[in-house]
Structure 1
Amino acid sequence: MSKLWGGRFSKDSDHLMEDFHSSIKFDQKLYREDIRGSIAHADMLGTVGVLSRAEADTLIEGLKAVQADIEEGKVAFTTEDEDIHMNIERLLTAKVGDVGKKLHTGRSRNDQVAVDLRMYVRSAVAETRQLLVDLVEVLHDLGAAHVETIMPGYTHLQRAQPVTFAHHLLAYIQMFRRDVVRLDDWQKNNNIMPLGSGALAGTTYPLDRNQTAQALDFDAPCANSMDGVSDRDFVLDYLYAASVSMMHLSRLSEEVILWASQEFAFIDLDDAYSTGSSIMPQKKNPDVAELIRGKAGRVSGHLMAMLMTMKGLPLAYNKDMQEDKEGLFDAIETWQKCLMMAAPMLKTLKVKKENMRAASEGGFTNATDLADYLVGKGVAFRDAHRIVGELVAHALDQGQALGDLSLADLQKASPQIEEDIYEAISVDTCVKRRHTKGAPGFPQVEEALDECKSWLTQQQ
């Protein structure tokens, strides 16, 4: 089969070279975008008079027919035609005749692939954004059911201070909302159209790039033809957003794994999102959470690979940039699937309130509040810190919690301690007294949930 670019060459490509060089195995995903971009290009060529109106309309109808054939499974793409662009042009020419050869007037595969891929990522941004919003809604609803469910907060994976389950979930809500903002920023920064840049230096034809940009829902044509064909920041921006969000999902998954363990026993995962062991009958494994945690590294790897691909490339287009697709496509699919799995896993889990509360009461999470109590009695904080540390050591020796110590033992450490100490250091009081904005106090958590609900309403 003769190459559409073969006039310069006196011999055929080596078969191994063809397979190595061809991208149709993966860039066939872009067929809708390629056809849509070609329709807009053909229409514009007819408008500005580069083609007759009849020729443009023939191309447009032919492209629509090619798309229908592809979607009905009537088309077998070939490596001989290398990529999706050449495959579609060959199919079009077979369908409409020699006028099909005029479609490529005023463009190059360099600007063609750039516009195709940008439209593909733009669609992925919209789809992924909705999945993030759906996950935030699940977290919101779970949190709203547990505003007063007290659990230990941790630093260094050591019990630190009492919080609520809702407050803990609200931290992840903030993370995933930032992920949404990153995707919104993608739209602001990257919705510009490279088509019309040609190979790198524009074209001598009187193209109306504004018409094409409007037809393809871009904000504007790109401002520089060399940047238009060589820019892959829009791929990197998506991969970065995916990597950060997958890191958030991984952190959440790690906590789900811990909480579901017998050592924590804070939650019970639904059977539909767990698996068993082939040898140990008692096992219930949090495989969904573990897979999400594992796939985070895979997505970050795609970001690193693309950064390394781009870092040494001179302007303008280089064949290295064909490496922009496989990792991107996998990252899109992986991120979206992880979001689709995380939401129902969280929605169906059962919270073991009593175990969460018991962990809060048994881990000296009220020690800071005892120090604050002493400060309220006129003791300097540094002295209060030392006194409480000594009381914790004494309680550990006795196998007791701070609230189990007798008033006499407490007063031996500090005569400022009075009968009201037990109420002051109950985990309920510890949480309720944390009433600054963003803290785990019940009214503050309700306020944060209300604000999140309002944000969710605005996303509809």
Structure 2
Amino acid sequence: MSDLLWQKPGVKVDARIQAFLAGEDVILDREFFLFDIQASRAHAQGLQRIGILSAEELDGLSRELELLAQDFSAGHFVLDERFEDGHSAIEGRLIERLGDAGRKIHTGRSRNDQILVATRLWLKDRLARVYALCRESADVALARAQAESALPLPGYTHLQRAVVSSAGMWWAAWAEGFIDDAVRAQQTLDWVDANPLGSAAGYGVNLPLDRDHTTQALGFGRLQVSAAYAQLSRGKFEMAAIEALTSALLDLRRLAWDLSLFTSAEYGFVALPAEYTTGSSIMPNKRNPDVIELMRASYSAAAAARTEIEQLLSLPSGYHRDLQFSKGAIFHAFGRGLGALELLPDLLRNLEWRPERLRAALEPSMYATDLAVDLAREGLPFREAYRQAADPARWAQGDPEASLAARVSPGAAADLRLHTLRERLDALPAATLSQA
């Protein structure tokens, strides 16, 4: 490992203790590295604006930071055990290439606000991806709801056959769910969009740092004003981001559960795209819905990560090394969660209904609720209508299309209000992803 940034003369570094302190930090920091470089560039610009760096020094630092980003992206520069973490790797490279100009880069900042700003930029990028994928999934679901609005589909409560429903209703439910998830991701992104750079170790510094410049240069929506609160917000913002992610994954989990049931031989309602299934290692006849099962499981990783961070936050104010462990949690949550969400739009586009199996599952009892409501509309008190409609002797195989056409309450099969959902979706901002 290279010389430690904090090492003092005469202090011996115990290799075992240092290994425990560093943990997986340098490996995890690969996720943040490009954002850390981006923030270092903005910080250098701010230092030049207050006279700490000359224009020539800023040019050199900007050039070397860009080259470092390119080398890292191309695999020519690797974060490994040579470095304590990503921050020290950046500073070490700049010192190696630029000498004293590189030694000046840390003026006015701490690794505390370095990790805060890199985390915020990373979270903004990931939340933008959640937002974009939820919008796309909602768009696909709306299109299929429109195309398949009249396709009869058994409706279930308690996993028991209940009433005649439609593919249109099923799709519209997921469309509205993912619209809400997109809204939540965007709102959370807006809340996280605050610049902590310049808060240093949580108490500011005796320099007139141009924090407004770094806020603008890094594309933040606002400045996080209080240096002390910048430290207090670590973990809090990460939990909020994970909660936005889990909102989408909760809908994905339930959708995946439906498809797990619908693709079974007992239901046989849906055929999955072949690439979303795998074979058994021993049973030649099997095609397993492994992809949707892992989609269903992805929620657990995000929920566990949120709990892990929450447990870290039993702390007084100020920075504490406990917070180092929050990095692995958010990487795990978004790694699993985004991996699942990125497969969802194509799955929704390409799954196929089996109409003959859907229709065969519609039995006479599923029209009993229609009968009860019809009797009530004719003037019979509903409880008496309910009693009469509960008599199996009055059940007959009904017409599913007629049942759907009669379901005229807003949001039901005959009045899906897809135009309302489309207006909500189209009113959302266009998806934009980070260029870091």
1:244 matches 2:247: yes
Alpha carbons 2:133, 2:342 under 8 Å: kept: yes
| Post-superposition offset of 1:19 | 2.1
Specify which of 396, 405, 410 is matched with residue 432 of structure 1: 405
Higher mean displacement: 165-174 or 426-435: 426-435
Secondary structure of 1:162's aligned partner: strand
Secondary structure of 1:77's aligned partner: coil
Structure 1 residue aligned with 2:18: 18
Structure 1 segment 305-320 matched on structure 2, within 5 A: 305-310=308-313, 312-320=314-322
Structure 1 residue aligned with 2:291: 288
Structure 2 residue aligned with 1:352: 354
Structure 1 segment 13-412 matched on structure 2, within 5 A: 13-22=13-22, 23-79=25-81, 81-231=83-233, 232-310=235-313, 312-360=314-362, 362=363, 364-389=365-390, 391-392=391-392, 394=393, 402-403=395-396
Alpha carbons 1:375, 1:381 under 8 Å: kept: yes
Q: Deviations over 1:96-119 (max 9, x none)?
A: 112211111111111111001100
- Stretches of structure 2 that go unaligned for 5 or more consecutive residues are 431-436
Give the letter for the 1:110 counterpart.
N
| Post-superposition offset of 1:455 | 4.2
TM (norm. structure 2) is 0.93
Give the letter for the 1:11 counterpart.
V
Give the letter for the 1:431 counterpart.
L
Distance in 2, matches of 1:218 and 1:52, equals 26
Structure 2 residue aligned with 1:413: none
Distance in 2, matches of 1:266 and 1:72, equals 47
Distance in 1, matches of 2:150 and 2:222, equals 50
Q: Deviations over 1:308-354 (max 9, x none)?
A: 111x1111111111111112112212111111222222222211122
Distance in 2, matches of 1:363 and 1:96, equals 81
| Post-superposition offset of 1:193 | 0.5
Secondary structure of 2:154's aligned partner: strand
Give the letter for the 1:434 counterpart.
R
| Post-superposition offset of 1:225 | 0.6
| Post-superposition offset of 1:221 | 1.6
Percentage of matched positions with identical amino acids: 31
- Stretches of structure 1 that go unaligned for 5 or more consecutive residues are 396-401, 405-424
Distance in 2, matches of 1:236 and 1:55, equals 39
Q: Deviations over 1:347-395 (max 9, x none)?
A: 22211122212323x1511111111222233322111211222x22x47
| Post-superposition offset of 1:26 | 0.7
Secondary structure of 1:36's aligned partner: helix
Distance in 1, matches of 2:374 and 2:5, equals 82
Distance in 1, matches of 2:423 and 2:376, equals 39
| Post-superposition offset of 1:456 | 4.4
Higher mean displacement: 165-174 or 11-20: 11-20
Distance in 2, matches of 1:252 and 1:145, equals 19
Distance in 2, matches of 1:132 and 1:39, equals 32
Structure 2 residue aligned with 1:410: none
Give the letter for the 2:53 counterpart.
L
Alpha carbons 2:192, 2:237 under 8 Å: kept: yes
Distance in 2, matches of 1:183 and 1:440, equals 29
Distance in 1, matches of 2:246 and 2:258, equals 19
Higher mean displacement: 131-140 or 38-47: 131-140
Distance in 2, matches of 1:240 and 1:385, equals 42
| Post-superposition offset of 1:183 | 0.9
| Post-superposition offset of 1:259 | 0.6
Give the letter for the 1:319 counterpart.
R
1:451 matches 2:420: yes
Give the letter for the 2:404 counterpart.
V
Alpha carbons 1:18, 1:79 under 8 Å: kept: no
Alpha carbons 2:301, 2:332 under 8 Å: kept: no
Secondary structure of 2:278's aligned partner: coil
| Post-superposition offset of 1:286 | 1.1
Alpha carbons 2:134, 2:248 under 8 Å: kept: no
Secondary structure of 2:29's aligned partner: helix
Give the letter for the 1:40 counterpart.
A
| Post-superposition offset of 1:74 | 2.6
Q: Deviations over 1:199-254 (max 9, x none)?
A: 11101001111011011111222121111123122211111111221111110001
| Post-superposition offset of 1:457 | 4.2
Change (3 A) 1:6 1:80: farther
Give the letter for the 1:378 counterpart.
G
Secondary structure of 2:319's aligned partner: coil
| Post-superposition offset of 1:181 | 0.9
Which gives a bigger RCO, structure 1 or 2 (Cα 8 Å, sep 6+)? Answer: 2
Distance in 2, matches of 1:365 and 1:71, equals 58
Alpha carbons 2:185, 2:245 under 8 Å: kept: no
Alpha carbons 1:197, 1:228 under 8 Å: kept: yes
Secondary structure of 2:153's aligned partner: strand
| Post-superposition offset of 1:301 | 0.8
